[in-house]
Amino acid sequence: MDTSLLRRINAYCWEVPQQGAMRVPGRLFGSGALIRDLDDMVLEQVSQVAALPGIVRASLAMPDAHWGYGFPIGGVAAFDPDRGGIISVGGVGYDISCGVRTLRTGLSKEDVLSVLPELVDLLATVIPAGVGRGGQLRLSGSELDDVLRLGARWAVAQGYGESRDLEYIEDGGCLSGANPEVVSETAKKRQQDQVGTLGSGNHYLEVQYVDAIYDQAAAFAFGLKEGGVVVSLHCGSRALGHQIGTDYIQILGRAAQKRSLHLPSRDLVCAPIDSKEGRDYYQAMACGVNCALANRQVLGHLVRQAFAEMFPLARLELLYDVSHNTCKVEDHDVDGLRKSLYVHRKGATRSFGPGRQELPAAYRGVGQPVLIGGTMGTASYILAGTVESEAMAWGSACHGAGRAMSRKQATKRWKGKSVLHELEHRGILVRAASQRGVAEEAPGAYKDVDEVVESTHHAGLARKVGRLRPLACIKG
DNA sequence: ATGTAC
């Protein structure tokens, strides 16, 4: 991208000047190199989001930003319900509440390395992965409604995991306002056997070890130490979330036509927060969030069962569970006033700083764990949320490395088999549901996660706590 | 992301 179109605020923050239909400026976070490599489409999408009714302060893009449907992936925007603010399907994405859950194992890298091939094979048999893949659960209509209303609380009540887990999930494992009545029967039917499944695309389960600590105090609070092994899950709301997205793009599109609402792009279909369609979408989206939280809770239980077979003394504790595709109602300071805003994070992680009431007591002194899923060949990171991020970005940070090329480009450049060989040569064992998926997710198809995280850290969006290296991966 | 183009 041509950076002469931007105003440099500092080395890691760039302003898109307000012009044309934009109601507010845009703000791009990232090093000069990351911004130069950005697709021009990201600038266009950030500008289009800035033109949406009721947007507050600025349209934002995190350092891992790339092109998405409507909003860029890595896009963050807050809307004021008292000033005609809207809620947008493309501001959340199809994979509602896709997110990362990390569990501490209490084991060391050496403990795990000695049995790694057996462990990865066991995990591959226990964790259902792949497109259209169902799991062990077969839920009735009323059971699924309970999942949508109660999220991870439902899962814990059914015996998946422990009640302590709930404290370490955003929103206590259950987003309020979910109403299954505004979710289609199609969406529910598709989800009946998909609770407790990984899915496909960029979803995965990784066994990782901590190879660097940057902030001792936060690492101590998060229970991380060098050489310690953790398990991270990356997945979302599966068919249910996707169908809710599909349904509401149509519903909101028809409503916009009826109201002759002019939109900056067809892909930015939205409805006023204070409208029937807007309220319905929020309630359906909250069902998607709860489905994802229940899904990760059940998967966490399956991981614990697998580890119990091989390490009977190990106790896997939930470090945290974050969502990075959401719209949430949060209180933030706007011009000295505390306002309740609808914060859209699409491929962006919440990054609340120390002191926020939403955080578990054990982390309130250091900030929220910000779980960054990298690639299966490079690294993932754990950061801590900051007060500065609350001032700059509604308390948000990046969510991953961010794609550097499309899936199609990646499959032209790499073959799944050779990617797997290369990883195995480096000691990273992968069991994948599809070879094509491996090529699409080749580490080289992503931006440099170290640079993305460094930018996130220096921009003040979150601060580095520890880096994780992959040992084994179950790929969707 | 996705019963990967109902």
Spell out the domain ranges in chain A.
Answer: 3-404+446-475
Residues with CB under 7 A from strand B: A 94-95, 98, 130-132, 186, 190, 194, 199-203, 235-236, 238-239, 242-243, 434, 436, 476
d(CA A322, CA A40): 29
- Cα–Cα distance list, A69 to A88, A94, A377, A427 (Å): 11, 9, 27, 36
d(CA A357, CA A374): 29
Closest residue, CA to C1' of B4? A131
pLDDT, residue A39, reads 92
The angle at the Cα of A112, spanning A451 to A447, to the nearest 5 degrees, equals: 15
Q: Alpha helix locations (H) across A226-382? A: 238-259, 276-310
For all residues of chain A together, what is the average pLDDT?
Answer: 97
Could you say which of 3.30.420.40, 3.40.190.10, 3.90.1860.10, 3.40.630.30 is the CATH number of the domain covering A3-404+446-475?
3.90.1860.10
Maximum pairwise Cα distance, chain A: 64
pLDDT, residue A268, reads 96
Closest residue, CA to C1' of B1? A95
Lowest mean pLDDT: which of A85-99, A120-134, A185-199, A258-272?
A258-272
Terminal Cα-to-Cα distance of chain A (whole angstroms)? 32
d(CA A298, CA A321): 13
The whole-number average pLDDT for the span A447-474 is 98
- What's the CA–C1' distance between A381 and B6, in Å? 40
Classified as helix, coil or strand, A457 is: helix
Answer whether residue A259 shows pLDDT above 90.
Answer: no
pLDDT, residue A266, reads 87
Covered bases, chain B (protein CB within 7 Å):
1-4
Pairing of strands A86-88, A270-272: antiparallel
A66 has which bridge partners?
A73
Structure tokens at A277: 């369609």
Answer whether residue A264 shows pLDDT above 90.
Answer: no
- What's the CA–C1' distance between A186 and B6, in Å? 13
Contact A71, A45 (CB under 8 A): yes
pLDDT digit string, tens, across residues A338-391: 999 999 999 999 999 999 999 999 999 999 999 999 999 999 999 999 999 999
pLDDT, residue A171, reads 98
The whole-number average pLDDT for the span A393-399 is 98
pLDDT digit string, tens, across residues A15-25: 999 999 999 99
Positions of A annotated as catalytic residues are 399
pLDDT, residue A328, reads 98
